[in-house]
Each structure stands twice: as structure tokens, then as C-alpha cells.
A = this chain, B = another copy of it.
């Protein structure tokens, strides 16, 4: 109640299963009295490419373009492009970041990876010796909510895809933990395209139910042990 939530959403089709999961989250969290903002990346035609266009005005070193250095310097002087500033404002205000997407190739769709690459710049999300538990986005929570193509059996220790937690390491630890953001248990809907309509409804209900008690959850211990035992 009164909490602010940013949902970063990466699916092209509102009628998709991801679209339903987004709708549920917006409705349930709003009902709880949360203030919910959605960054609908495809609808925004969000730019995933990290280029010189992200810096307004002069470059720190125009002889050899270094994206990390240039965005850091631009952040400090307030010279990042408007779309980045807007996303950073949303992140800054949020208590909880929810990422809703279909797993593409054991990772995020490129448009969402581009959001990470471009929004979480040095100076804003982390800094020299300010990373992991010292990251700049402390006191925030994150939650990766995604659908898969493969089944739960495939994404198990015995399955060909390996434990699903292996794919969570770069996203949860490498990005969110790096920035100081705490990580809630992921929410995974396995192979919604390959299950019965009844099973799909159960999945949607489970998401609603989880959201009802979300604020009582404890973050995971985001260390190698959680991922690799």
C-alpha cells in the first residue's frame, strides 16, 4: 500500500500470456494501493542499441568512443538522452522492479537487455567500488517474471537445459545484485503455449495469489550457492 512498482515489460502482443501476466500484476498491485508504472518496451519502440546517440552534446573523448565512460560522464553532467533520463526516474522512484518477458535463448529478449545496458549506467546504478551490496540502487526489490518455451523437466538438473537457476545468474546476480537491488524469488511459467487452457488459468491464478502476499516475502540469498548449490 503506497508502494511504487515499475514493471518493465517486453512482449509485442497484449493478448499473449505475458500480456495477461502484466495485466494481472497491474490490476492486483493497483488494488493493493500501489502506484504502478509500466514501461512497455515494444510499444515505446525502446532503443536497445548502446550508441553515441545516448549522449546529448559533446563527448568526453571524441577520438575513441567508449560507451561506459561517455554515459558515466554524461550522467554526471545531466547529458543523457531523454529516454534514458525518463527510465532512470522511474527506477529511482520505484520500490519494486518487475521484469515481465518471455525467455529468449536462455536470457532476456534483446529489447529488455538493451534497457539494462542503457538505463543502468555508472554513476546512476553503481559506481567505483559501489557495487553488489554497496550498489547505488539499494532498498529496492526486483522480481524476474517470465515464460519459457521448454518444460520444467527440461529446465531441471537432469534436463538438457540444465537447472533454470543457471540462466538466472547473469540477470539476478550480474545485474540486479550488482546494482544493490534485492532479488525476490523468480516467477516462472513453464511452456504456457504447450499446456492445457485449464493449466494456463491455474498459472494466472497462481500469479495473482503470489502478488497478494508479495510484500511479506524475504529476498533470496543472491550468492552462488542459490544458483549452483
> Which residues of A come within 8 Å of B, CB atoms?
12-13, 15-16, 42, 45, 48-52, 63-68, 104-111, 113-114, 116-118, 120, 131-132, 149, 160-162, 166-167, 169-171, 173-175, 178, 193, 224, 227-228
Contacts and interface: CB of A to CB of B under 8 A. Distances in A.
B107 A15 contact: no
Contact of A166 (B65, B131, B160, B169): B169
Contacts of A63: 15
A120 B104 contact: no
A227 to B, nearest CB: 8
A164 to B, nearest CB: 11
A35 to B, nearest CB: 27
Nearest 7 interchain pairs by C-beta: A106-B174, A110-B114, A106-B170, A48-B110, A110-B113, A13-B65, A15-B64
B149 A161 contact: no
A206 B198 CA distance: 57
B12 A51 contact: yes
B48 A114 contact: yes
Contacts of A51: 12, 42
A221 B169 CA distance: 21
Contacts of A167: 169-170, 174
B109 A50 contact: yes
Given A51-B12, A104-B117, A105-B175, A162 B224 contact: yes
Contact of A110 (B65, B110, B170, B171): B110
